[in-house]
Amino acid sequence: MPYLMIHDLRKSYFDLDLDQYRLTFDDGLFSQYYYYPLYEDHPEPLTFFIVTGFIRAGEARGMFDGSYLPYLKSKKYMYRSYVEKKFDHFMTTEEVRGLAARPKVEIGLHSHWHDVIPTGAHPHKRKPLSKWKLARFNHSPEIVEHDLSIRSKIAFQGYHLDGGGLRRRTVTEWEDYIKRDTERCLQWTAHQLGLTPDSYCFPFNEHNQKVIGILKTYGLKKFFAARPGKCTDVIGRTDIDSLI
């Protein structure tokens, strides 16, 4: 049975025959909690990949009451998070706990910071630079001048912006960042949920063997991305928006 990749939920998704798919939810968004009553009877387990750094302390809000929430594209809520420092569109700790306690629900990791870094890989001419990603680096002219793209800080070695200049991260710095991010995820799930997840979804669906090798040392066993490529360790997923 194929896997679906779902971010913010909207009304039209519930017109689809979701029972044909295994459902995975990225980022830990409030809409995933709010609409839970509409898909809690799904025949397959439900996997929620949580960005632990986006989850704030707070009580559980109400679930679906017949009203539909405004829909946010990922670039919109990422802008709100990184630029405006607003996190109300993500679940609270109590909401994540509430889902984790439900039958057939699995909590997976989706990094702690879900951050980005300028890199020479995949130049932005092939993929336009998102407004929120440029704002993340204060619209630094260095990024455009050097024809850099902005990609996953976990999957790419990339460059630091030091005093307005570029400095390539060392391999050790890159590896240390992956380890620190993963440890923060695992500490959060252990403390807040009493769980040790073994599933991991790559931020921005970007991965490589170095990242996978490090993650395996932390006991992670199942890896997910939209595009597994030739990597047999990674389970592919279909974006739900491709079905609309």
Q: Is the pLDDT of residue 199 over 70?
A: yes
For 51-187, list the strands marked E by DSSP.
105-109, 116-119, 149-152, 159-162, 165-168
End-to-end CA distance of the chain: 19
Q: Is the pLDDT of residue 2 over 70?
A: yes
Contacts of 70 (CB under 8 A, 6+ apart): none
pLDDT for the residue 122: 75
pLDDT class of 125 with cuts at 50, 70, 90: low
Average pLDDT of the segment spanning 214-219? 98
What DSSP state is assigned to residue 170?
Answer: P
Q: 227: which 2 tokens?
A: 């595009």
Phi, psi of 39 (to 5 degrees): -135, 10
- Per-residue pLDDT for 205 more than 70? yes
Q: What percentage of the chain has pLDDT greater than the value 70?
A: 98
pLDDT at 28 over 90: yes
pTM of this prediction?
0.95
CATH class of 3-115+170-243: alpha beta
Instruction: Enumerate the domain spans of the chain.
Output: 3-115+170-243, 118-168
Task: Using pLDDT thresholds of 50, 70 and 90, give the confidence band for residue 5.
Answer: very high
Task: Check residue 164 and give its pLDDT.
Answer: 67
Closest among 135, 133, 136, 110 to 6, alpha carbons compared: 110
